Amino acid sequence: MDIFDKHQALAQRRGQLLGTGADPFDLEIEALHGPCEATIRGRRTILVGTNNYLGLTFDPDCIEAGCEALRRFGTGTTGSRIANGTYAAHRALEAEIAAFMGRARAIVFTTGYQANLATISALAGAKDIVFVDSDWHASIFDGCRLSGATVVRFRHNDPEDLDRRLERNPNPDGCRLIVVEGLYSMLGDVARLREIVAVKKRHGAFLLVDEAHSMGVFGDKGRGVAEAQGVETEVDFIVGTFSKSLGAIGGFAVSDHPRFDLLRVAARPYMFTASPGPATIATVRAALAKIAAHPELRARIWDNARRLHAGLTALGFALAAPPGPILSIRLPDERTTVFAWNRLLELGVYVNLALPPGTPGGVCLLRGSVSAAHTTEQIDRVLDRFARLAEELGRFAASVAAA
Ligand code: PMP
């Protein structure tokens, strides 16, 4: 037996996709021309699938801050936060994130994935129950597994179902932690946090919200969906990432809980990995200052989201959610979706290809995301390419039916 035999089903599935002419999981970006355009397969391409919501990856102040930190503090910390990997800048960033999010305490992690892994696995223990939305991100799933807690899934964005499950699982010998996302990364729908908070209070549970896709975009101050829905004080823990609106890499968790800092000695994904490098920390600090000082960035991403959403809807595409930073289009099946994704690339537009089992409810999606840095001209060019795709999809469906 070969050690890779267990992945045979994956290999077959990948082989099927490769047979369509492109390897969607091995796409190379050959050159970048700012936050929203790149060269892919030798072609100038508009990027509409990057999570670069505020377009800060090429911000001159962020770049300068990163270069300066590289020169002064070197290329990496070469150690974990609990050894030699905590510099003054890590602490300063934690204070700045706490202030930005309006919380007493913040902890910085090396990635957003690890922020969930660390926070969930340290908050929940073997005697606890974690109630998770069934459209959970892999980092939430893995955090639950690492925690050893019992996991109860509730129907996607369904507070009534959550209520029933809490009712059935009182857990007098342990705690109960609810984990949801502010903005769901696949469909782009927003959590019903007001109702979820009401359920949480009724049952005396704790609530963690992952604002990975919503921080910087939702709320008057850009703190996320909890801010936008006016329920921040009822959310016990917020997790976020630096890899989307902040244009870098890393993650954080914030809380007002007086014992929150215990995570630093309880969370293995915090303790046993090297801390984020100086350049990363410096760019994140600059980006955070930028989003605090420039609310017009948020206004721009919402304008772009509305324009793209309206245009795609007018072309007859089925959008999975109302306008927002994530614009996912439902297509009828995998063949059509892969065809559409390939054609868009040939037409100079990059979106994400999202297929089961990575999607909720087995849906096939072209997952687009807008940026504050998209110009109106770029959005209109994208819509022009989608108009061509819409015509071709009609012909594609007819040819499949005839075959
Ligand atoms: N949470 C959610 C909801 C995400 O979508 C992601 C990444 N796509 C993460 C956490 C992990 O963040 P990162 O990629 O920064 O590690």
Which of 137, 244, 309, 374 is flagged as catalytic?
A: 244
What is the whole-number distance in angstroms between the Cα of residue 140 and the centre of ligand 1? 9
Residue 403 is predicted with a pLDDT of 75
Eight-class DSSP state of 316: T
Verify whether ligand 1 is closer than 6 Å to residue 139 (CB atom): yes
- Contact indicator for 154, 182 with CB cutoff of 8 Å: no
* Over residues 372-401, mean pLDDT: 93
Whole-prediction pTM: 0.97
Q: How confident is the model at residue 21 (pLDDT cuts 50, 70, 90)?
A: low
Q: How confident is the model at residue 22 (pLDDT cuts 50, 70, 90)?
A: low
What tens digit of pLDDT does each residue of 25-46 get? 778 999 999 999 999 999 999 9
How does the average pLDDT of the chain come out, rounded? 96
Closest-CA residue, ligand 1 atom 13, reads 112
Of 24-38, 74-88, 374-388, minimum mean pLDDT range: 24-38
The backbone torsions φ and ψ at residue 209, rounded to the nearest 5 degrees and listed phi first, read: -120, 125
Residue 94 is predicted with a pLDDT of 98
Closest-CA residue, ligand 1 atom 5, reads 185
Other CB atoms closer than 10 Å to residue 117's CB: what's the count? 29
What tens digit of pLDDT does each residue of 154-163 get? 999 999 999 9
Distance CA 232, CA 282 (A): 27
* Over residues 388-392, mean pLDDT: 96
* Over residues 207-234, mean pLDDT: 98
Distance CA 111, CA 226 (A): 22
Length of the chain: 403
Radius of gyration of the chain (CA): 22
Atom of ligand 1 lying closest to residue 116 CA: 10
Does 7 have pLDDT greater than 70?
A: yes
**Coil, strand or helix: which one is 138?**
helix
Q: Tokens standing for 330?
A: 């439902």
CA 270 to chain centre: 20
Domains along the chain?
A: 5-53+295-402 (3.90.1150.10), 58-293 (3.40.640.10)
What tens digit of pLDDT does each residue of 142-199 get? 999 999 999 999 999 999 999 999 999 999 999 999 999 999 999 999 999 999 999 9
Residue 397 is predicted with a pLDDT of 80
Closest-CA residue, ligand 1 atom 14, reads 112
What is the whole-number distance in angstroms between the Cα of residue 138 and the centre of ligand 1? 8
Does 20 have pLDDT greater than 70?
A: no
Alpha helices in 230-295 (DSSP H): 263-266, 268-271, 278-293
Q: How confident is the model at residue 51 (pLDDT cuts 50, 70, 90)?
A: very high
Does 19 have pLDDT greater than 80?
A: no
**Coil, strand or helix: which one is 313?**
helix
Q: Is 185 a catalytic residue?
A: yes
What tens digit of pLDDT does each residue of 296-316 get? 999 999 999 999 999 999 999
Q: How confident is the model at residue 223 (pLDDT cuts 50, 70, 90)?
A: very high
% of residues, the chain, pLDDT over 70? 99
Q: How confident is the model at residue 377 (pLDDT cuts 50, 70, 90)?
A: very high
* Over residues 338-354, mean pLDDT: 96
For the chain, first and last CA: distance in Å? 39
Does 373 have pLDDT greater than 90?
A: yes
Does 357 have pLDDT greater than 90?
A: no
Residue 13 is predicted with a pLDDT of 82
Closest-CA residue, ligand 1 atom 2, reads 212
Neighbour-count burial of 402, counting CB atoms closer than 10 A to its CB (0-12 exposed, 13-18 middle, 19+ buried):
exposed
Q: Which residue has the tokens 């975009």?
A: 217
What is the whole-number distance in angstroms between the Cα of residue 241 and the centre of ligand 1? 6
Verify whether ligand 1 is closer than 6 Å to residue 49 (CB atom): no
